[in-house]
Amino acid sequence: MLRRKVAERLVSVKNQTAMLTTFNEADLSKIFDLRKKYKEAFSQKHGVSLGFMSFFTKAVTRALEMYPDVNSMIDGNEKVSFNYCDISIAVSGPKGLMTPILRNAQNLSFAAVEQEIKRLADNVKNKSITVDDLTGGTFTISNGGVFGSMLSTPIINPPQSGILGMHNIIQRPVAIDGKVEIRPMMYLALSYDHRIIDGNQSVGFLIAVKEGVEDPENILMNGKVEKSLGLS
């Protein structure tokens, strides 16, 4: 029954939305540097690891505020826009993929994001997730990279209008200031409903996410790293 219901939703998305996907890539060197420097202190202080999801969640909420149409949905003949960011996080569990929600993610600290994601993921895995945890959501983040996916076109989580696909991190040669360097690179994908989001908005949104994860210290933390991580 669960698989049948999921199948119905997936087919309805393909039939009822004008879904497109745009791609970009991000250099995660600075996130690696921050995690290496602060992961032990962060774990001791907050009881959770400093993962990639907190950086991406903060980058996404910033980008949603910059491009509010991506944080909107269609209800009948009306466009409904939200002044908050309830981020659905795709989590794999015993009954398949579920998308519990980080409520008001725009107000959460790095530590609060990591703690809430751990709580929700644990609840999915031990089958104690509630309907309230799964109801709502204005945008989805899916991390296929944990399974080794290099690139994908994630499918929209209805009735939302956009979903960000994260992928695996590969050490690749890239050109930096005219020289070839090996950097930890990730392909990013944004699938979106073209009925409500224009191409320039989708590209701008994904670039904003890229900017946030490539320069988290200045863009996501306003230069105050230890304060943002709750270490001062």
- The answer to whether 194 is a known catalytic residue is yes
CB distance 185 to 172 below 8 Å: yes
The DSSP H or E segment spanning 115 is: helix 110-125
**Active-site hit among 33, 122, 194, 215:** 194
Structure-token match 């709502």, residue found: 136
- The answer to whether 198 is a known catalytic residue is yes
> Which of 126, 55, 117 lies closest to 90, judged by CA?
117
Buried b (16+ CB within 10 A) or exposed e, 11-29: eebeeebebebbeebbbbb
Instruction: Give CA separation, 11 vs 134, 153, 199, in Å.
Output: 20, 15, 23
**Active-site hit among 27, 132, 198, 215:** 198
* Structure tokens, 107: 């107000």
- Active site members: 194, 198
